Amino acid sequence: MATVDIRLVSTRGIKKKSDHVDEIKNLVTPGDVITSDSGFMRGHGTFMEEGKLHASVAGVVEHVNKLICVKPLKTRYNGEIGDVVIGRIIEVCQRRWKVETHSKLNSVLMLSSVNLPGGELRRRSEEDEKLMRHYLKEGDLISAEVQNVMGDGCLSLHTRSLKYGKLGQGTLLSISPSLIKRRKTHFHNLPCGASVILGNNGYIWITPNIDDESQNTGGYEQNLQPVPQTDREVVARLRNCILALAANHMIIYDTNIMYAFEASISFTVKELLKPEVISEMIDLVQQRIDMEGT
Amino acid sequence: MAGLELLSDQGFRIDGRRPNELRKIQCRLGVFKQSDGSAYIEQGNTKVLAAVYGPHEVRGSRSKMLHDKVLVNCQYSMATFSTGERKKRPRGDRKSTEMTMHLKQTFDAVILTSLYPRSQIDIYVEVLQSDGGNYCASVNAATLALIDAGIPLKDYVCACSAGFVNDTSIVDISYLEESGGGPELIVATLPKSEQIVFLEMNSRLHEDNLSKVLDVASKGCKDIYEILDRAVREHVSKVSHSLATTD
Amino acid sequence: MTDIIYSEAEKTYILHGIQENYREDGRGCEDYRHMEIETGVVSNTTGSARVRLANTDLLVGIKAELGSPSPDNPNCGCIEFFVDCSANATPQFEGRGGEELATEISNVLTRAYSNSTSLDLKSLCIIPKQQCWILYIDVLFLECGGNLFDAASVGVKAALFNTKIPNVTVNQDEDDMEIELSDDPFDVQRIDIKSAPCIVTLSKIGHHHVVDASQKEEACCLARLMMGVTADSTITALKKEGWGSLNPESIFEMMESGKNVGKVLNASLLSLLEDEEKGSKRKTVGFLK
């Protein structure tokens, strides 16, 4: 049975609890003078003019010893060494792949920084160069780690660990990188039966828990068998939950995701696309966070 | 001018404003999801949407790429239904090409371009409804969209227009006042450092009056800055609040 | 639209899901995503509407202008469609980048409305052979999240509903005809949209078809069928698009479900528009919320 869900804009947004929020402390906007004291160091989001330190973005001033930074609410991804990212191959070049990672410039994955099928470490032969498109071709998704940040901000990636590599069946989401919390691990096997990779670059990969055999191959051999319906439902539910959290500017990490998942269980997955259901679920999550936090 | 009194004897304008009064400004940051930054502004009946993409890899020919700074790319376009008389084309005509160029110059001056060598920032402006001051509203909307996208700026850029009627300078002129044929001064300033990044005047104005009109327009820019800054602060506070409580 | 190439595994995942009538976001094959509508958003038009279907966002503005009727139909007014894909939606539309898609959409809309039953064009005639109303229907895309055709048609229908053409009186003195427009905002002519069509796009993915495909699903789709469907399930236009081919049987199958979906879509839209009309005290939200 077909369903069509049309509303009027005017009927939206009855809920208005956070309509007014007091201005937060240390908030600056572009051009504001942060300090005229010359004893500070200039960090991201600031610039020097006439001996004064100005903010160049809107955000909260952060002090780390003598360093002053301003972090904007959202930007493109600023890579740091060691970050976990998810990227899409967009070009196969000489001895390297170009990868789209939602950063300012395309990232680079060198042929010498991947584990080749079989896993063993060996010299890259000319043969391998010819087979590059066979390993990873345009459109393929990978999880990787930032190995280096070049002078112009271009990231160089590596996948030399078995947890990284080509991604199989699942769903990719794209949210603002600032919503991803930097944590010890970004790979989570959630108890609900799916695993998520929270890329620092704002890309999130949700995939059904498949038996561990595929992990050893670095993802080169792909399992294209149909995913069982129950797994599919879990993935779809997680997808809608994470998007709902992101739309409400909530930080995303494994605990929050599980809260949302559990709060959503009384609704069908399809209902989670409706605004009133989303706000009800978000309220439940918020309550739970408040409760656990104190 | 027959029949049309731009300034009444009591000192009121056609829409009931005083000479130094701006139209009502309402704005919002983060209207769309797919762009890196977006904003919407209403200045009276002039309504403008701006979207910012980037910084990202230079699209199209690599020859456009700049090795020491970011490439600022703009497009000004007007909805075909935005004007009183229907427009045939949304862009590509001389007027909008000129606007595109003006926008590019204005924002080249204010974005900290040297931070992102070899990449590109797109600023797209779409006028949904036009009632005078299109350029001003476009600049103001684009500023908000750039702030929403977290792109480093030296300062806000605020633009405002002013006219001169019956020996009185009038600020933020509407379409009716624009088409009256009197002088029109458009200025875009950096409100905090009080510098002018864009200045344009149409029609004829006595030299002695120029500074008066310019003062009024600059004052208008400052007033607009206050409004935009308040909107940005509110937006940032609201979002940071929800980020902080869920961390 | 956006030139993202998806990986084989991602496409397989979507394909298998559709086979099981369970799409990526939990929808079934015949479900639409959440849609929001507001009419009367642009004040200097004769009629306007904004539609937001998930991430797809568009604005429709209608301007009525006086003109002369076409020699083929001297007793009828005209409607003309124009679609503009703003670069705000995606950088690929910059310059003339969106023109091809825009032409395609306006062609399908024109086709869906180019029959005598969709709209009563006779009512737009003022003086046969000499003066009539020309409705310029302009669609402006502001964000793209898939299924632009359906969203555009919903917007057009809503904007037509919102259209208020001033009433005219024709004063005839001997050879001279004079047209007088009423300047009373309530002395207006409305347009009957009861039998106006909506476009339903059915995308064939694998062996099944879905309505309201997301961008990702559109990337997996080889062929799609676009139909203009009215509230009583009449088909006013049909167009197959895409580089894949379709079996006659599957076209009939798709038409069947298109008719069903179209009926529901038209009915929900009409009742909603009537509701909006009733709720007289309303503030336009536009893009401010």
Q: Which residue of C has its CA nearest to B84?
A: C44
Report d(CA C264, CA C213) in Å as an integer.
Answer: 17
Contacts of B50 in chain C (CB under 8 A): 88
Q: Is the pLDDT of residue B3 over 60?
A: no
Contacts of C32 in chain A (CB under 8 A): 2-6
- pLDDT of amino acid B92: 87
Candidate from C27, C38, C260 with C-beta closest to A270: C27
B59: which DSSP letter? P
Contacts of A2 in chain C (CB under 8 A): 30-32, 211, 257, 260-261, 264-265
In a domain, residue A32? The reply is yes
Per-chain mean pLDDT for chain B: 92
Amino acid at A260: A
Select the residue from B32, B65, B236, B243 to test the A interface by mutation, using most A Cβ atoms within 10 A.
B236
Query: pLDDT by residue (tens digit) across A44-97?
Result: 999 999 889 999 999 999 999 999 999 999 999 999 999 999 999 999 999 999
Candidate from B192, B240, B241 with C-beta closest to A31: B192
Q: Is the pLDDT of residue A10 over 90?
A: no
Q: Is the pLDDT of residue B1 over 50?
A: no
CB C288 within 8 A of CB B42: yes
Confidence of residue C36 (pLDDT cuts 50, 70, 90): very high
Instruction: Check if A54 contacts B (Cβ < 8 Å).
Output: yes
- pLDDT of amino acid C147: 94
| Domain boundaries, position A45 | 27-72
CB A223 within 8 A of CB A234: no
Q: Which residue of C has its CA nearest to A276?
A: C34
How many residue contacts between A and B have a Cβ separation below 8 Å?
122
Instruction: Check if A279 contacts B (Cβ < 8 Å).
Output: no
Candidate from A6, A172, A239 with C-beta closest to C37: A6
Instruction: Check if A291 contacts B (Cβ < 8 Å).
Output: no
Instruction: Check if C281 contacts A (Cβ < 8 Å).
Output: no
Query: A273–C26: do the CB atoms touch at under 8 Å?
Result: yes
Candidate from A229, A274, A275 with C-beta closest to C20: A229
Q: Which residue of A has its CA nearest to B239?
A: A249
Report d(CA B211, CA B145) in Å as an integer.
Answer: 31
Candidate from C62, C143, C287 with C-beta closest to B28: C287
Q: Is the pLDDT of residue A120 over 90?
A: no
In a domain, residue C207? The reply is yes
* Chain A contact partners (≥3 CB pairs within 8 A): B, C
Place of tokens 């069946």: A169
Confidence of residue A19 (pLDDT cuts 50, 70, 90): low
Per-chain mean pLDDT for chain A: 88
Report d(CA C132, CA C69) in Å as an integer.
Answer: 6
- pLDDT of amino acid B142: 97
Q: Is the pLDDT of residue B167 over 70?
A: yes
In a domain, residue C283? The reply is no
Sign of CA dihedral A225, A231, A234, A238: negative
Candidate from B152, B190, B229 with C-beta closest to A56: B152
Candidate from C13, C26, C285 with C-beta closest to A237: C26
Q: Which residue of A has its CA nearest to B151?
A: A57
Q: Is the pLDDT of residue A17 over 50?
A: no
User: Which residue, B61, B242, B220, B224, is CA-closest to B144?
Assistant: B224
Average pLDDT over residues C179-191: 87
Sign of CA dihedral B112, B114, B115, B118: positive
- What is the helix (H) or strand (E) element at residue C252, kind and residue range? helix C248-278
Select the residue from A48, A60, A76 to test the B interface by mutation, using most B Cβ atoms within 10 A.
A76
In a domain, residue C173? The reply is yes
Contacts of C276 in chain A (CB under 8 A): 8, 10
Contacts of C265 in chain A (CB under 8 A): 2, 4
* Chain B contact partners (≥3 CB pairs within 8 A): A, C
How many domains does chain C fold into?
A: 1
Confidence of residue C280 (pLDDT cuts 50, 70, 90): low
CA B148 to chain centre: 15
Out of A77-81, C1-5, C11-15, least confident range: C1-5
Q: Which residues pair with C39 in a beta bridge?
A: C49
In a domain, residue C288? The reply is no
Report d(CA C32, CA C77) in Å as an integer.
Answer: 34
User: How far is C254 from chain A, CA to nearest CA, in Å?
Assistant: 13
- What is the helix (H) or strand (E) element at residue A111, kind and residue range? strand A107-114
pTM above 0.90, yes or no: yes
Candidate from A13, A240, A275 with C-beta closest to C25: A240
How many domains does chain A fold into?
A: 1
| Domain boundaries, position C138 | 8-278
The residues on B that touch A, with CB distances below 8 Å, are: 36-37, 54-57, 112, 116-119, 147-156, 190-193, 229, 232-234, 236-247
In a domain, residue A205? The reply is no
| φ, ψ at B110 (rounded to 5°) | -110, -25
Query: C272–A7: do the CB atoms touch at under 8 Å?
Result: yes
In a domain, residue A203? The reply is no
- pLDDT of amino acid C1: 44
Query: pLDDT by residue (tens digit) across C111-138?
Result: 999 988 899 999 999 998 889 999 999 9
Q: Provide the token pair at B20.
A: 């130094």
Q: Provide the token pair at B213.
A: 């009109």
Confidence of residue A224 (pLDDT cuts 50, 70, 90): confident
* Chain C contact partners (≥3 CB pairs within 8 A): A, B
User: How far is C161 from chain A, CA to nearest CA, in Å?
Assistant: 14
- pLDDT of amino acid B2: 45
- pLDDT of amino acid C182: 84
Q: Provide the token pair at B134.
A: 């299109």
Q: Would you tell me which residues 254-273 of chain A have a C-beta closer than 8 angstroms to some C-beta of chain B?
A: 256
User: How far is A77 from chain B, CA to nearest CA, in Å?
Assistant: 10
Task: Please list, in sequence order, all residues whose beta carbon lies within 8 angstroms of the beta carbon of residue A177, skipping any fewer than 6 positions away.
Answer: A74, A75, A76, A77, A78, A102, A200, A201, A202
- Classify B21-245 by CATH class: alpha beta
Q: How far is CA B149 from CA A44, A72, B39, B99, B119, in A?
A: 15, 8, 10, 22, 15
Q: Is the pLDDT of residue A211 over 60?
A: no
User: How far is C166 from chain B, CA to nearest CA, in Å?
Assistant: 15
Query: C88–B50: do the CB atoms touch at under 8 Å?
Result: yes
In a domain, residue A249? The reply is no
**Ramachandran bin of C259, using left for φ above 0, alpha for ψ from -120 to 50, beta for the remaining angles:** alpha
Task: Specify the 3-state DSSP secondary structure of C149.
Answer: helix
Out of B34-48, C52-66, C162-176, least confident range: C162-176
Average pLDDT over residues B68-93: 93
Report d(CA B194, CA B58) in Å as an integer.
Answer: 33
| φ, ψ at C4 (rounded to 5°) | -90, 130
Domain harbouring A51, CATH code: 2.40.50.100
Q: Would you tell me which residues 129-148 of chain B have a C-beta closer than 8 angstroms to some C-beta of chain C?
A: 129, 131
Query: C57–B32: do the CB atoms touch at under 8 Å?
Result: yes
Identify the residue with better confidence: C182 or C93.
Answer: C93
Q: Which residue of C has its CA nearest to A234?
A: C26
Domain segments of chain B as ranges: 21-245
Task: Please list, in sequence order, all residues whose beta carbon lies within 8 angstroms of the beta carbon of residue A231, skipping any fewer than 6 positions away.
Answer: A193, A194, A208, A209
